Amino acid sequence: MVGRATLRQGRNRTFALVDLLEAKPHLKPLVRSIIADPTEFAPFPLLHILPNLFEIEFRVRLLSPVNITLHPSSLVCFQRFGTRIESLHLSGLSFPNYLSFARVLLAFTNLRHLTCTSVAIETAGGGAPLTVLKRRLSEQMQLKTLTVDYLAPMRGATVRPFLFSPGLAPSTVEKLRIAARIGPDAFESNLPGWSRLRSLVLRFHHGGRTLTGVVKLLEEFQSPELREVVLELEPATSIPAVLRNLKSFNTDAQPAQDVLKELEHRLLRFSHLSMTWVSPPLRRRALWACELSKHFPVLSQRGVLILKSEPAFPPGHDGAVHALVVSPDSTWIASGSEDCTIILWDTNGKITRQWVPHGYEPVRSLAFSPDGRYLVSGADDGKLIVWELSASGDARQVAVLEGHSGGVTSCACSPDGTLIASGSLDATVRLWDAATFLERRVLDGWPTPEVPSLAFSPDGRCLAGGSSSGVCCVWDIACDSVLHKSVHGERHVNDDDNYYSGPESDPAARHPFTLGNTQLATASGPGVIEVWGVYSEKEKGGRLFALEHLRRVNDVSFSPDGRLLVAAVGNGTVTVWDAHSGTELSVFEGHKDGVMKVCFSPCGKYIASASWDETVRVWRTGDGSCVATCPEFNHVVTRCITFSPDGQLLVSGARNGTVIIRKMKDLVPVDI
């Protein structure tokens, strides 16, 4: 058994441990490691009475490095009574100069293992005295393993130039471990020869510039005995985000793919090698391991490309869900995510197919064709891709629709299946022929340089677009004219309004609106819903009435028959009105926080709502009773919610990537 003593409450804690060990001498051989604050640690008589002590870790309690200078008497104690100490770990310390740092190393005469983490040197100089100490240290140095970081301190220099001096660590170290963020210009000159080095471990935050620095390090590192090289790449972000960054990263001299090929080539020079990518918990580790293998095929074939991650449950995306749609025959559920993937689910919640459709760009929008044969995806690469789905769930790319100069944030298929509409960060709305997949036209009348979200009317006669600033347009598709346009001021958000405008990763918040066959409802201003006529000459472009609320309205939806209008309100309520008269019919209370999303079931008998209180509720439209309360998995906030067209499923997608498919018969078994 190895005992570790932690001494962090002043010198009295050290003396208390001494008293305990003197009273119980059988414990002395068990203490083999000490963690202490060097500014408070009293080495004598503790070192004298611990026969098996071999490791000391000096760590300060403050976040920023603390400037220390050990008293000469302490150094003498370490030199006289610390001969059994072979391992020294320095963390979060700052030395006034290299002289002070060198004196600490000289005090441990039998040092074999040294770790320096976030250690700073205030003044780099040392002159002749430092030269003398370097010579003494080179005669005494017996280091076998060295761990050092390259993180630049807030002030001063690092210990690396000193330790890497010829005659010191390069002469004795057999295993070198470097932890750092390395850029392409990290090394200005060749590293010195490491005559005995057998193992090199590099632990970095992965990214384009980091990998360029690693390539340069491996190219310039000189060691005739080096056989083992291990790369451990820690996450700065998620694996999908890293792959996206690698795809877009280019140096002045070569593109990212060439950098990755060069890195693999450099690693293959060594007989023992491995590359380990460390990631936060992943729901689909196998998928991302496969994607990594495309960049490092030889390492993957040799079995030395490793993705290290804890599993996450339940199965789903590894980023926020942006799009969630159900096929017209209610057979498939498709979800698109910030993690750049599309997942095709069956009705039992099993993943049938998953793929990366847009080259590591977040998938913002999805739409099924009315016959369920095609799935359209839009992403940040500015493209729409049309996928043909088989009966078994396979997806085959059949067309790529190009024309937008910015990311596609919304797409929709017309009810008759003849058109595909798309809205983009380039502030345009485009129509595409669903048979030829050619662009028909860019719709006129969009009055703002913001991103529109789109929806066709149930009868397919018109298309509506809304933006985060409250602008909403309706186009007559047949004659390509603007039927209605309402412009409102910016939607100012107050913390106490419980207003939800989409996850932080959205390029633009969506404007809450809903389009029926004859009416358009928009949520605008401080809790105001406006209902507009769409087609009749008398009502065309005119506001029928306004509904005022005390809190922000986050979502609105017409019932399937167009008779009712429901709103998700920031005060935690769900409110239903008569869509023709504007009469308030009922207010559903039960949520403990603002309601974000709301929708009717296809039969109109139920309303589903999603709230910041991390629950989804199902309400009976007729009497306002809550028939089901569904806590979301692992306390996550629902991002999207929808019913299947046959009304048998309630599907929700969350900000953490979770997709939950619930059967309505399990929620309301009496009625379904």
pLDDT in tens, 605-645: 999 999 999 999 999 999 999 999 998 766 677 889 999 99
Asked whether residue 244 is domain-assigned, the answer is: yes
Range of the domain at 554: 485-502+509-672
530 and 661 assigned to the same domain: yes
138 and 20 assigned to the same domain: yes
Q: Considering the chain, what is the average pLDDT of its residues? A: 84
> How many alpha carbons fall within 13 Å on the CB side of residue 22?
10
Asked whether residue 351 is domain-assigned, the answer is: no
Mean pLDDT across 507-525? 73
pLDDT of residue 114: 96
Among residues 277, 312, 347, the one where a domain terminates is 312
Torsion angle, CA of 304/310/311/316, rounded to 10 degrees? -90
Spatial separation of the C-alpha atoms in residues 177 and 147, rounded to whole Å = 5
pLDDT in tens, 400-414: 999 999 999 999 999
- Six-digit token string for 388: 């043909």
Asked whether residue 475 is domain-assigned, the answer is: no
39 and 123 assigned to the same domain: yes
pLDDT band at 189 (very low <50, low <70, confident <90, very high): very low
pLDDT of residue 401: 98
pLDDT in tens, 137-166: 999 989 999 999 865 555 668 888 899 888
580: domain CATH number is 2.130.10.10
Spatial separation of the C-alpha atoms in residues 611 and 593, rounded to whole Å = 6
Q: What's 139's DSSP letter?
A: H
Q: By C-alpha distance, which of 373, 372, 401, 378 is closest to 388? A: 373
Q: Are strands 120-123 and 157-158 parallel, antiparallel or unpaired?
A: antiparallel
pLDDT band at 286 (very low <50, low <70, confident <90, very high): confident
Whether the predicted pLDDT of 650 surpasses 60? yes
193 and 270 assigned to the same domain: yes
pLDDT in tens, 77-116: 888 888 899 999 998 888 889 999 999 999 999 999 999 9
Q: Which long-range contacts (CB under 8 A, 24 or more apart) does 474-480 make?
A: 474/515, 474/520, 474/534, 475/429, 475/443, 475/445, 477/414, 477/419, 477/431, 480/441, 480/443, 480/444
pLDDT band at 489 (very low <50, low <70, confident <90, very high): very low
Number of residues in the chain: 672
Percent residues over pLDDT 70 in the chain: 83
pLDDT of residue 232: 87
Q: Which residue has the higher pLDDT, 635 or 132?
A: 132
516 and 647 assigned to the same domain: yes
Distances (CA, A) of 116 to 84, 148, 349, 354, 377: 20, 5, 49, 44, 49
The count of domains in the chain is: 3
Q: What is the CA radius of gyration of the chain?
A: 32
Spatial separation of the C-alpha atoms in residues 528 and 548, rounded to whole Å = 5
Q: Which residue has the higher pLDDT, 533 or 327?
A: 327
pLDDT band at 366 (very low <50, low <70, confident <90, very high): very high
Whether the predicted pLDDT of 23 surpasses 60? yes
492 and 547 assigned to the same domain: yes
Q: By C-alpha distance, which of 387, 316, 348 is closest to 639? A: 316
Among residues 312, 334, 355, the one where a domain terminates is 312
Among residues 269, 291, 312, the one where a domain terminates is 312
pLDDT in tens, 241-261: 777 766 665 555 566 678 888
151 and 209 assigned to the same domain: no
137 and 286 assigned to the same domain: no
Asked whether residue 479 is domain-assigned, the answer is: no
Least confident of 254-268, 453-467, 639-653: 254-268
pLDDT band at 184 (very low <50, low <70, confident <90, very high): very low
Asked whether residue 429 is domain-assigned, the answer is: no
302 and 162 assigned to the same domain: no
Q: By C-alpha distance, which of 334, 347, 415, 338 is closest to 375? A: 334
Percent residues over pLDDT 90 in the chain: 46
pTM across the whole model: 0.80
602 and 489 assigned to the same domain: yes
Asked whether residue 329 is domain-assigned, the answer is: no
pLDDT of residue 493: 39
Asked whether residue 380 is domain-assigned, the answer is: no
Q: Which residue has the higher pLDDT, 648 or 129?
A: 648
Query: What kind and span of H or E run contains 105?
Result: helix 98-107
62 and 195 assigned to the same domain: no
Asked whether residue 271 is domain-assigned, the answer is: yes
pLDDT of residue 527: 77
113: domain CATH number is 3.80.10
- Six-digit token string for 601: 């079931």
69 and 193 assigned to the same domain: no
pLDDT band at 581 (very low <50, low <70, confident <90, very high): very high
